[in-house]
Chains A and B, each alone.
Chain A
Amino acid sequence: MATGRPGKPLASVAAPPRPAAAGVPVSRWSRAATVTTAAAGAALVLLAAAPYLVGAGVTQPLVTLFLLVSMAVLWNLLAGYAGMLSFGQQAYLGIGAYAVYLVSKGGVSPFAAIGGGAVACAVAAVPIFALLRRLTGGYFAVATWVIAECLFLYVTNQQWIGGATGVGLQQLSSMSPVLRQAYTYWAALVVMAVCVAGVYLLVRSRFGLDSRAVHDEPAAAAAMGVEVGRTRWIGYVLAAAGAGAVGGVLIVSTLYTDPGTVFSVNYSADMLFMVVIGGLGTMEGPVIGAVIFFAVQQEFASYGAWYLVAIGAVAVTVVLTAPGGLWGLAARRGWSLLPVGYTVLPGAASRPPEPPVLARGDDPPEPPDAPGRVPSSRGQGAPPATRGGTDATRGGTDE
C-alpha cells in the first residue's frame, strides 16, 4: 500500500542534508512553549495539592482523567510517532494490574508496586515485540489484539490469580479511605506527569526524529541511516511500560481487577478515539482528546453507550475530513504549545541555501551528534524554506 502520499498530515523528515550546525540558525523553543510549560508546572502543583483542598467527589473523576490522558499520550507515541497501530495495549494494562496484585501480595506497598507493573510490562514487551517485529499495518494491529486475547484466555483459566472472577487488592482495604484515595490520586498524577513529560522529551530527542521518519516511510528512513527496528522497539517497549503503570493505578483505584474488564479491547477503542479526535502524531492533541473524551463520558455515560456511538462517529468523521484531528486544525494556523521540531529562524529564510557540506573543503565537518537531518518544523508556522525540502521527499514513494 502507498505510504507517504501527498497531503498526509503527519510528520515528515526533510531529505536534503542541510546540517543545522553549519550556518542555518534553528530554534527548538518558543514563547508559547515557555508559557505552556510554566502553566503545566503550576497546574501540576495545584493538582498535587487537590487532596487537601477538595473531596473524593473531585479527585476520583480526576484519577480517571489522568489515566485517560496517560493512555492517550502513550497510544499516540506508538501509533502517531512510531507508526505502530496497536489494538492490544490492554494486554499491558492487564499485565500491570496483575503484577501489582502479585508484588503487593509479597508484602510490598501496592503504590510502590505500580513501578513493578511498569517494569513487568517492559520485560513482557521484549519477547512480544520479537513476535511482532516484522509486521506492519493491519497485521500488526490485529496481532497485538490477538496477543491481548491470548492473555485474557490464559488468565481466565488460571485459578491461582482468580480465574475469570478476578482478584481483589486486600492490602489496601485496611487503609483509611481518605488516605487511600489521596495516595491513589497522587499515583495517577505522577503516572500522567511522567507519561506526558517523558513522551514529550522522547519525541524531542533523536528518537523523535527517527520515529517520525520511520512512521512516514520506513524504507527511506532506513536508507538515511535510521535504525528502523531499534526505533520501533524503543517505542513499543516504552509504551508498554507506561501502560503497565496505568494498569497498576487501575487496580489500585478500583481495588479489584478481572480479566474480562482489564483485557477488554474497549480500552483500545477509547485510546483510538481520544488520539484521533485530538490529533494523531501531535503532542498537544491526545491531551485535548482525552479531556474531551472524559467530559463526554462524565456528562453522557448515564444515558448508556450512546456516547460511544457518537464519539465513534466523530472519530470516523475526523479521520476522513480532518486527519490531523482538532490540534491539526490549530497547527495549520501555526499554533504550537509544545514544539518538537526545528524552526528555521526568521532571517535565515531569506539567505540563499547553503551548498552541501561536502562541496566545501573549508567547512568544519558535521558534528557527529547531528547527522545531517533537519526535520520539517511541522505545525510551527515555519518559513517556506523548510517546507520545500519536505515535499521533495514525498514524490515517488508510492507502493
Chain B
Amino acid sequence: MTWVNDVLQGIFLGGAYALTAVGLSLMFGVMRLVNLAHGDLAVCGTYLVTTVMAALGVPLWAALLVMLPLAFCAGALLQLLLFDRALRAGPVAPLLVTFGLSVMIENLLQQVYSANTRGVPAGSLDVAALHAGGLVVPWLSALKLILALVVIGGLSALLRLTAWGRRVRATSDDVAVARLQGIRVRPLFASVTGIALGAAALAGTLNSVTTGVDPALGALTLIFAFEAVIIGGLGSLWGTLLGGMLLGVTQVVVAQVSVPYATLASQLLFLAVLAVRPTGLLGAAQAG
C-alpha cells in the first residue's frame, strides 16, 4: 500500500510540475520560444501575491484573483516589448534575452525582498488532507492536480474549438502564411504569453504554500518545467502533463529508497529521454 500511496503522491507532484510547465509548453509550441525566464516569472507572481496579501490583508484566493489579471497583462507586455523583438533577431537571441531577463528578475527580487525565504500563508490549506485506508490525499496537492487538468483541458478545448485557437494553431504552423491570411500575429502572441504567465504565476504561488518562496527558486522551477515539456514532447499539452507525472512519480518513488538522490533521479530521467528520444514521448517527429 505504501508503494501505491507513493505513486499517488508522485502523480500529485506531477500535477504541480505540469501546472508550472503548461505555460512554457504553450509558448514553446506556439512560438518556438524557450522562455528561460519562465521560472523566475512564476516566482515573481508569488512575490506579488504575498505583497498583495500583506498590503490589503486579504486571503490567498483573493490575492490570486488580483494577481492573475496582472500576470496576464505583464506577459502580454513582455511579449510585445521584448519577446517579439527577440524572435525576430535570429535563433539565438530569444535564449540570450530570456536568460538575461531571468538573471535580472532573480537579482531584482533579491534586492527588493532579500534572499530570505518568505512564507505564503494559506490558512489550513497547506496541511489539510484526506486519509483513506493507506492513501493520503493532501487537499493542496489535489487542488494543484485538478487545476493542472482544468488548465490543460481548457487550453486544449480553446485551441481546438474557438476562433482564437484556430488562429493560434495556424500561426504555430506557419507565421508568414498566417499573416497573409490576415491574422494579427502580435496580439495573438501577446495573449498566448499572457496566459502562459498567468498559469506559471498561479502554479508558482500554490507550489510555494508549503515550502515558501525565495528569489533563487526560479532556476529549478524552470528546469523542472522544461523537463516536463521535453519528456512529454514539444507542442503537446497533454504530453507536458505526462512528462510532469513521470518526473513526479520518479522523484517520490526514488525518495523512498534514498531521499538525497530523488531530485538527481528525475534529472537523469530527463537526460535519458534526451539521449534516447529527444522528440519526447508524445512529440511530433522533429526536434529543434
Do A320 and B110 touch across chains, with their CB atoms under 8 A apart? Answer: no
Query: Size band of the B side of the interface?
Result: 35 or more
Given A5-B90, A316-B101, A136:B288 Cβ within 8 A: yes
CA distance A150 to B263 in the complex (A): 9
- Stretch binding the partner chain, chosen from B140-148, B192-200, B266-274: B266-274
B35's nearest neighbour on chain A, judged by CB, is A138
Q: A150-B264, A315-B100 are in contact. List 6 more A-B contacts (CB 8 A).
A: A8-B90, A272-B96, A272-B99, A309-B104, A312-B107, A320-B82
- Stretch binding the partner chain, chosen from B8-16, B48-56, B223-231: B223-231
Do B278 and A135 touch across chains, with their CB atoms under 8 A apart? Answer: yes
Selected from B86, B103, B219, the residue in CB contact (under 8 A) with A320 is: B86
A323's nearest neighbour on chain B, judged by CB, is B89
CA distance A309 to B99 in the complex (A): 12
Do A157 and B230 touch across chains, with their CB atoms under 8 A apart? Answer: no
Given A137-B95, A142-B226, A316-B97, A308:B90 Cβ within 8 A: no
Interface: A222 (CB within 8 A): no
Interface: A357 (CB within 8 A): no
B258's nearest neighbour on chain A, judged by CB, is A157
A-chain residues with CB within 8 Å of residue B93 when the two chains form the complex: 319-320, 323
* B residues lining the A interface (CB < 8 Å): 32, 34, 36, 82, 85-86, 89-97, 99-101, 103-104, 107-108, 110-111, 219-220, 223, 226-227, 230, 260-261, 263-264, 267-268, 270-271, 274-275, 278, 287-288
Interface: A147 (CB within 8 A): yes
Query: Size band of the A side of the interface?
Result: 35 or more
Most chain A beta-carbon neighbours within 10 Å: one of B103, B219, B264, B275: B103
Do A309 and B108 touch across chains, with their CB atoms under 8 A apart? Answer: yes
Given A138-B34, A315-B100, A153:B271 Cβ within 8 A: no
Q: Main secondary structure on chain A at its contact with chain B?
A: helix
Most chain A beta-carbon neighbours within 10 Å: one of B82, B91, B268, B271: B91
B275's nearest neighbour on chain A, judged by CB, is A131
A134's nearest neighbour on chain B, judged by CB, is B278
CA distance A8 to B88 in the complex (A): 11
Interface: A154 (CB within 8 A): yes
Minimum C-beta distance from A118 to chain B (A):
24
Selected from A8, A147, A157, A308, the residue in CB contact (under 8 A) with B103 is: A308
Interface: A273 (CB within 8 A): yes
Selected from B36, B103, B278, the residue in CB contact (under 8 A) with A312 is: B103
